[in-house]
Structure 1
Amino acid sequence: MPDLPELAASFTAALHDAGIAVGPDRTRSFARALTLLEPSTTRDLRHCALATLVSDPEQIERFDAVFGEVFGGPADPGAQRGQPGDPARSLPRTLPGRVPGAHRATADGRSREAGAEQREAPLPLAASPLDRLATRDFADLSADELARLSDVMRTLVLRTPTRPSRRRRTAHHGTRVDVRRTLAISRRTGGYPLRLGRFVPRTRPRDLIVLCDISGSMEPYARAMLQLLYCATRAAHAEVFTFATRLTRLTPALRRARPEDALARAGRAAPDWSGGTRIADCLAEFNERFGRRGMAHGAVVAIISDGWDTGTPADLATHMARLSRVAHRIVWVNPRTASPRYRPLVAGMAAALPYCDAVVSAHSFAALDEFTTALSAPRRRR
């Protein structure tokens, strides 16, 4: 795949010279589509370009002519419509130096038509800045780099499995008879229930509860995790807590905060930031104050911690067992598990492991896919 900025600039310049109005806004949309979709064939690239650069069907003929000139000949129209034809070609690893109507500066400063000479201009295979940041460990990112990821991180959707609701909806092939609706329908037929009204239960997403460790051992990941917690508060039926030496409910503070103020509000609300770790005591407080009141019943619980605990492992196992009896699913997020040398030898992690449905790392933006998948997966039998 060529360098995306060079690809977007060269191709849109060629379209502009061919008489297709392509402004900076369309060029920016095209570059963003390339970053998000990462097309690997000419067919995929053509679809990206058509969706972002062409606004009139009459421009398609000129568009295809320029596209074929830039990328080595027109793609087969049958293949573009999903019909049998020649397979779509892979994207060239270099862009042709000859672009219709494009002026390139020579070494002596004079401008000439690019069509006067055909040459191959090798371009570096450069990843976008977002791609480079996505695979780096959160602990290695600076505050500015985390801020660059925040906009993309807020597009994450934290989905949980659905559960039956007390509400219901009408369905022609429902499994249960709706007596009230059946009687209402029978009025049209003289009181005879010739047609049965049926319904099925509605479903709703399960509640999401996130408990995040903000102790000293988790401090390198705390900033990124708080950005993730800000995303969680945007999900329906989500509750966010932090813990170190005490449990703090952050949901009201994060929901009222702007993205840039979320970290500051969280720091003011949690006085035990970068302190010691008492996972067992904080879990006991959560079970006593919130779990027994029904918050954790049937919910998906995500615990973000490296497992370092100053308490007794037996106490942690007791409170984890209590939580597992009411929660639908427990997902433990431990950034340390990203290392291939990691072993669950920490006493706290070893005590909690039998009660976890999934253990993921979420140590980078790319690894968050594994976390979101674990949240939405069905419950496994422990």
Structure 2
Amino acid sequence: MPDGANGNRPGPEGSGRSVLAATMTGFARTLRAAGVGADHQRTQGLLRALRHLDAADREQVYWAGRLTLCAGPDDLPRYDRCFAAYFGGERARPSRGAPPMVTITRHTVAPGGAGDGEAGDGHAVPATASRAEVLRTRDVARMTAAELAEIHRMMALLRVPRERRRSRRFTPAHRGRLDVGRTVKDTLRRGGEPARLRRKAHRTRPRRVVLLADVSGSMAPYADTLLRFAHALVRSEPRATEVYSVGTRLTRVTAELRHRDPGTAMREVSRAIPDWSGGTRLGEELKEFLDQGSAARGAVVVVASDGWERGDPALLGLQMARLSRLARRVVWVNPHKGREGYLPLTGGMRAALPHVDAFVAGHSLAAFQELAERLSHA
């Protein structure tokens, strides 16, 4: 088996198959990031092909992937470069020689550009699969503008599926409890003749997520990436997601984030938020949010903030206790938690943490991917 990113060698047993699937799924993600149309269906085709091949033979893996994951001639050079970068070493090459490691050139948005898909400075930023992995774990506050644009492009591909929960409403079903009303109506429609018994079952719907994003001055290096994660949340489940910005004012930005294009969504959000880089009064904003209604009831509430509270920390603690009683789970995302040696010593964090179910980092693409996985099973 070719050496993957984690060096695992899948065998014939179930655990080996799962490692093989994880390795090839990661390879397909790398290809998609490079512009190859290696979608879920093509990835499944590759896994089916490898069941009939020797997965320990690098050449067979190379050709199986090339034949199943590539959609056209333009994908072949990208595939070759990604294969060499992802699996490392010398790949099984076709008759025409190619260097084992080449950069994959992508055009990214220039610093200060309004968003995805807009013209930047025209420079091409070289990126390899290994470099993309380094960027994935790097603190966004320490990135160059070109690196940040690359991270935002990858963030646009993020999907956040949700766990389904049972609704109180019913829907017709083949199995389930007896639907007396529909059964009686069918009987009357047939003139009193016995009719087939009708059944019903509870509907399911995705668990709601409410995100409160701190856009104050202390969060400025992370606010843009945080809102792009919010865009991914809304895009994945538009009807089961609410997003608010918090700072000196509480502002609902869900409608603005429903634009499919991230650049358009970010421009609309920028116009909607009146208190960019201002102060932080989380206690007052949280109280306003809870007083508006029951948006938090039964939802997973994510508070994204560094905890620098300019208001009364006691008020924040009181409102967090109130929130924890209403919400299914409360997750606090702090970008500084990803730094070595960080301790939550600010007044706001000390007041909030006793009422938080999960305290996670929010400083990198990898951290947001872990958060997405957490929300998928909350």
| Bin of the TM-score, shorter chain as denominator length | 0.5 to 0.7
Q: Helix, strand or coil: the match of 1:251?
A: coil
Question: 2:24 maps to which residue?
Answer: none
Question: 1:335 maps to which residue?
Answer: 335
- State whether structure 2 residue 67 is matched by structure 1 residue 50: yes
- 2: CA distance between counterparts of 1:245 and 1:209? 19
Deviations along 1:271-324, one digit per CA (max 9) or x if unpaired, are 2211211110110111112xx2x3222222111001111222221111111122
RMSD: 3.8
Q: Helix, strand or coil: the match of 1:367?
A: helix
Query: Does the 8 Å contact 2:36/2:70 carry over to 1?
Result: no
Query: Does the 8 Å contact 2:137/2:365 carry over to 1?
Result: yes
Q: Helix, strand or coil: the match of 2:321?
A: helix
The one-letter code sitting in structure 1 at the alignment partner of 2:285 is C
TM-aligned CA distance change 1:185 to 1:264, over 3 Å: closer
Q: How does 1:101-112 map to 2 (within 5 A)?
A: 102=96
Question: 2:251 maps to which residue?
Answer: 248
Q: Helix, strand or coil: the match of 2:201?
A: strand
Q: Which moved more, 1:369-378 or 1:295-304?
A: 369-378
Shift of 1:144: 2.9
What runs of 5+ residues in structure 1 fail to find an aligned partner?
4-27, 56-66, 72-89, 105-120
Query: Does the 8 Å contact 1:168/1:202 carry over to 2?
Result: yes
- 1: CA distance between counterparts of 2:34 and 2:88? 17
TM-aligned CA distance change 1:201 to 1:213, over 3 Å: same
Q: How does 1:155-304 map to 2 (within 5 A)?
A: 155-174=157-176, 176-184=177-185, 186=187, 191=192, 196-234=197-235, 235-237=237-239, 238-256=241-259, 258-289=261-292, 292=293, 294-304=294-304
- State whether structure 2 residue 97 is matched by structure 1 residue 94: no
TM-aligned CA distance change 1:31 to 1:312, over 3 Å: closer
- 2: CA distance between counterparts of 1:187 and 1:256? 48
TM-score (norm 2): 0.68
Query: Does the 8 Å contact 1:303/1:330 carry over to 2?
Result: yes
Deviations along 1:166-194, one digit per CA (max 9) or x if unpaired, are 432233331x2111233355579985758
- 2: CA distance between counterparts of 1:349 and 1:29? 39
- 2: CA distance between counterparts of 1:346 and 1:30? 39
- State whether structure 2 residue 352 is matched by structure 1 residue 352: yes
TM-aligned CA distance change 1:193 to 1:154, over 3 Å: farther
Question: 1:112 maps to which residue?
Answer: none
TM-aligned CA distance change 1:44 to 1:371, over 3 Å: farther
The one-letter code sitting in structure 1 at the alignment partner of 2:198 is G
Aligned-pair identity (%)? 41
Number of residue-to-residue matches in the alignment: 302
Query: Does the 8 Å contact 1:333/1:359 carry over to 2?
Result: yes
Q: Which moved more, 1:304-313 or 1:161-170?
A: 161-170
Q: Helix, strand or coil: the match of 2:245?
A: strand
Question: 1:21 maps to which residue?
Answer: none
Question: 2:370 maps to which residue?
Answer: 370
The one-letter code sitting in structure 1 at the alignment partner of 2:296 is A
Deviations along 1:247-277, one digit per CA (max 9) or x if unpaired, are 1122233335842243343333222211211
TM-score (norm 1): 0.67
TM-aligned CA distance change 1:257 to 1:202, over 3 Å: closer
Question: 1:11 maps to which residue?
Answer: none
Query: Does the 8 Å contact 1:250/1:269 carry over to 2?
Result: yes
Query: Does the 8 Å contact 1:233/1:251 carry over to 2?
Result: yes
Query: Does the 8 Å contact 1:2/1:95 carry over to 2?
Result: no
The one-letter code sitting in structure 2 at the alignment partner of 1:349 is M
TM-aligned CA distance change 1:185 to 1:212, over 3 Å: same
Question: 1:9 maps to which residue?
Answer: none
TM-aligned CA distance change 1:205 to 1:53, over 3 Å: closer
Query: Does the 8 Å contact 2:244/2:251 carry over to 1?
Result: yes
